[in-house]
Amino acid sequence: MPYTATELMICCAARELEDGRTVAVGTGVPCAAAMLAQKTHAPNLVILFEAGGVAPQLPTMPVSVGDSTTFHRAAMATSMADVMQFCQRGMVDYTFLSGAQIDPYGNLNSTLIGGDYRQPKVRLPGSGGANDLASFCWRTLIVIKHDSKKFVPKLDFRTTPGYLDGPGCREAAGLPAGTGPYRVITDLCVMDFADDTRRMRVRSLHPGKTLDQVRAATGFELAVADAPGTTAAPTDAELALLRTEVDPGRYILGRAG
């Protein structure tokens, strides 16, 4: 069955979420991935929303983190303060993030492009809860379009910490040991981070994509795993669930290009 780049990224993200784990999500692709995981291999996945919904039974795709559906038959209808406290206490396994820029160590910029903080060329929305989530959730999954303007050697502003400047830097900054970026999922490939350098490296190439394409769309030198595989294409069952149960209104899938 034919599929779009967005559908492939959602399926890749869903496969990373394990049964019985906890994941803090926003709306869009992260929520679609979590819903798909629940409907396939992870029925006991616990979803948390920044606005306070904990373990809802999502009837439809929410349009915001404060949408009433994010509290539908939830275990808790609490607050942002409580959800962030759960992260700080080490109770949240996964979170999803994105940004305008990402560097080799998985640091993210969602604050500004060009200029300085007071007079940027482009003012972006800022951190929201991204810094908190990336600082304290155990594993950060980054879903982002692969483009050399986004994958840069140095951020215009470091909004959200990845591995900062390399091995040991997160811990030196006071962040919990064992936390940090886990996967980077793009429309070209899936990447992880090498243990010895904490730099991004190619883990698998999407069907029909080449390493040359990935390198051309990256503004810094990428490492490559010893035996990079080919990303598994979405199955017919995954696509059917995505289109008929996860996002039948095509709030997310309708934007696929």
Report yes or no on 85 lying in a domain.
yes
Report yes or no on 103 lying in a domain.
yes
- Find the domain containing 66 and state its range: 5-246
pLDDT in tens, the chain (257 residues): 899 999 999 999 999 999 999 999 998 999 999 999 999 999 999 999 999 999 999 998 999 999 999 999 999 999 999 999 999 999 999 999 999 999 999 999 999 999 999 999 999 999 999 999 999 999 999 999 999 999 999 999 999 999 999 999 999 999 999 999 999 999 999 999 999 999 999 999 999 999 999 999 999 999 999 989 999 999 999 999 999 999 999 999 985 44
Strand-pair category, 94-97 with 139-143: parallel
Report yes or no on 225 lying in a domain.
yes
CATH of the domain at 140: 3.40.1080.10
Report yes or no on 255 lying in a domain.
no
Report yes or no on 254 lying in a domain.
no
Which pLDDT tens digit goes with each residue over 137-187?
999 999 999 999 999 999 999 999 999 999 999 999 999 999 999 999 999
- Which residues are catalytic, by number? 50
Structural domains in the chain (count): 1
User: At 76, is the secondary structure helix, strand, or coil?
Assistant: strand
Q: Please, are residues 143 and 29 in contact by the beta-carbon 8 Å criterion?
A: yes
Report yes or no on 257 lying in a domain.
no
What's residue 1's pLDDT? 86
Report yes or no on 251 lying in a domain.
no
Measure the CA angle with vertex 126, ends 121 and 128; round to 5°: 170
Report yes or no on 256 lying in a domain.
no
Q: What is the pTM of this model?
A: 0.95
Helix (H) or strand (E) segment spanning residue 121: strand 120-123
Residue corresponding to tokens 């940027």: 120
Distances (CA, A) of 27 to 35, 60, 69, 201: 11, 12, 11, 27
